[in-house]
Amino acid sequence: MKMIDTIKLAIPINDSQDLSKVAFETPLNAVRIGSTSYFRTFRNPIPAERRLGIYRPRLTFIRRPTGIDKSINMLLVEMSLPKLIFGNNFEEIAENDFETIISLLTRNLKEMGAPITPEQIRKASVVKVDLCKNIILPEYVSVPSITNQIRKADISMIYDPDYTKFRNGGHIFHVHCNTSDIVFYDKVADLRQGKISEKRGFEQDYYVQTKLLKVLQQNKRDILRVEVRLNSKKKIRAELKAIGIDCEDLTFENIFRAELAKGILFSHWNKIFKTIPKILLDSDSPEQLFYRIIKDNKITPQKALAKLGFILLEGQCEDSRQLRNVIENRFSRSTWAGLRKAREPPNKTQLKTLLYIGRVISEAKTLRSSEIGLD
């Protein structure tokens, strides 16, 4: 499934449901019964859960007055669905995981002191959703090499962004709009930053998956995360309409569809890809040459830099015989013979890699632990 990751559900609470046992920052029993003032309180992961690596949804309780001695009680439940099931969001969920999610979420909420029924969860309104795809890049293709190309797209023509950011050495490219975010980032590098401090990472709740970092780094494969965050019901409806899906009733069970997530993700990728200047993708700039050289998994750092330097130097020389004479006189004939092997520039593959990313997004394959090396 082109994956739903984080989702926020709005669940109406009836008078018979007691949430006083939930460890909210401000206990519900501290609020005067019959109060007509607006009230909001939170329940985020507590230190004990973090230490034990126990994943819990984030809860927000809202009491909104509607008249004299009348109010509406609402529980907002925000969670990463893959973290709820797998304890990480490198793996992806599928449509047939829905009933498992309902069961796990019901149990989690009950353990947290919120007696919410499975039917309430199914019918809950979706007020925010993050649609994501994790892509294992071809060997020795780096995320910065991809984000560097993506940021050359004419973003202002596609969106009306509040800002765009290219940060952490190219590990993150973030387009922020009014009610949505489009992000491309390095999942492994982001986890590494999150292990140091959650403030440094792009996601939340790194504590449940930092134990995976050693294995992921040993695999030496970059994982590109493509993410579209829709931060309002209005934006969700607009995105669905744009891909030809009419869904006025934004309930959890209606939103949990593979075609929905896949359609929105691919639509955004296609818009960006179309405006990337293709002529620059496989240019012979030093940067692009270096990215192509290091795709050789047998090359050492020293040989990679030597090959880059020689290709660039020879390209600037009007007479290669003069360059040969200088090298043979300064070093030896065997040095020139060895450098000759480096004369052929590596194959151009940047466009090929971007086309590969598009194919992965458009396919219906779900990424599981065995493909990431987590088994």
**Count of CB atoms within 10 A of residue 131's CB?**
25
Rounded to whole angstroms, the Cα distance separating 91 from 366 reads 8
Q: Are 110 and 18 in contact (CB under 8 A)?
A: no
Residue 299 has pLDDT above 60, yes or no: yes
Residue 328 lies in a domain: yes
Q: What's the CA dihedral at 90, 92, 93, 94 to 10 degrees?
A: -170
Q: Quote the pLDDT of residue 163.
A: 86
pLDDT tens digit sequence for 49-81: 999 999 999 999 998 887 766 778 999 999 999
Residues 202 and 322 in one domain: no
Residues 309 and 201 in one domain: no
Q: Are 250 and 237 in contact (CB under 8 A)?
A: yes
Residues 150 and 29 in one domain: yes
Cα dihedral across residues 262, 265, 267, 271: positive or negative: negative
Q: Quote the pLDDT of residue 181.
A: 95
For 344-351, what is the mean pLDDT?
Answer: 62
Number of domains in the chain: 2
Residue 76 lies in a domain: yes
Q: How many angstroms separate the Cα of 55 from the Cα of each of 45, 49, 105, 208, 255?
A: 8, 7, 11, 6, 23
Q: Among 333, 315, 314, which residue's Cα sits nearest to residue 325?
A: 333
Contacts for 112-116 with beta carbons within 8 Å, 24 or more apart? 112/22, 112/23, 112/43, 112/56, 112/57, 112/59, 113/19, 113/20, 113/21, 113/22, 113/23, 114/17, 114/19, 114/22, 114/59, 114/75, 115/17, 115/18, 116/11, 116/17, 116/75, 116/77
Q: Quote the pLDDT of residue 325.
A: 75
Residue 275 has pLDDT above 80, yes or no: yes
Residues 112 and 199 in one domain: yes
Residues 25 and 144 in one domain: yes
Residues 295 and 237 in one domain: no
Residue 188 lies in a domain: yes
Residue 346 lies in a domain: no
Q: Are 223 and 186 in contact (CB under 8 A)?
A: yes
**Count of CB atoms within 10 A of residue 281's CB?**
17
Residues 227 and 253 in one domain: yes
Residue 190 has pLDDT above 60, yes or no: yes
pLDDT tens digit sequence for 244-262: 988 879 999 999 998 899 9
Contacts with 360 (C-beta within 8 Å, 6 or more apart), sequence order:
133, 135
Rounded to whole angstroms, the Cα distance separating 325 from 333 reads 9
Q: Quick one: three-class SS letters along 250-274?
A: CEHHHHCCHHHHHHHHHHHHHHHHH
* 206 vs 374: which has the higher pLDDT: 206
Residue 282 has pLDDT above 70, yes or no: no
Q: Quote the pLDDT of residue 297.
A: 67
For 299-311, what is the mean pLDDT?
Answer: 79
Residues 46 and 195 in one domain: yes
Q: Quote the pLDDT of residue 347.
A: 55
Residue 170 has pLDDT above 70, yes or no: yes
* 21 vs 313: which has the higher pLDDT: 21
Q: Quote the pLDDT of residue 344.
A: 56
Residues 93 and 118 in one domain: yes
- Its domain, for residue 333, covers 286-340
Residues 19 and 48 in one domain: yes
pTM for the structure as a whole: 0.82
Q: Quote the pLDDT of residue 22.
A: 95
Q: Quote the pLDDT of residue 295.
A: 67
* 5 vs 317: which has the higher pLDDT: 5
Q: Which residues pair with 13 in a beta bridge?
A: 73
Q: Among 132, 134, 165, 128, which residue's Cα sits nearest to residue 150?
A: 165
Residue 353 lies in a domain: no
Q: Give the angle subtended at the CA of 21 by the CAs of 15 and 23, to the nearest 5°.
A: 120
Q: Quote the pLDDT of residue 351.
A: 80
Q: How confident is the model at residue 266 (pLDDT cuts 50, 70, 90)?
A: very high
DSSP letter for 223, please: E
Rounded to whole angstroms, the Cα distance separating 61 from 259 reads 32
Q: How confident is the model at residue 363 (pLDDT cuts 50, 70, 90)?
A: confident
Q: What mean pLDDT value characterizes the chain?
A: 86
Q: Quote the pLDDT of residue 149.
A: 85
φ/ψ bin of 291: left (φ > 0), alpha (ψ from -120 to 50), beta (otherwise): alpha
Residues 253 and 297 in one domain: no
DSSP letter for 20, please: T
Q: Give the angle subtended at the CA of 128 by the CAs of 251 and 182, to the nearest 5°.
A: 130
Tell how strand 172-176 and strand 163-167 pair up.
Answer: antiparallel
For 353-364, what is the mean pLDDT?
Answer: 89
pLDDT tens digit sequence for 204-253: 898 999 889 888 888 878 999 999 999 999 999 999 999 998 887 999 99
* 52 vs 289: which has the higher pLDDT: 52
Residue 130 lies in a domain: yes
Residue 345 lies in a domain: no
Rounded to whole angstroms, the Cα distance separating 288 from 373 reads 29
Residues 51 and 69 in one domain: yes
Rounded to whole angstroms, the Cα distance separating 188 from 374 reads 13
3-state SS class at 136: strand
Q: Are 74 and 62 in contact (CB under 8 A)?
A: yes
pLDDT tens digit sequence for 89-146: 999 999 999 999 999 999 999 999 999 999 999 999 999 999 999 999 987 788 988 9
Locus of tokens 């985020």: 44
Residue 96 lies in a domain: yes
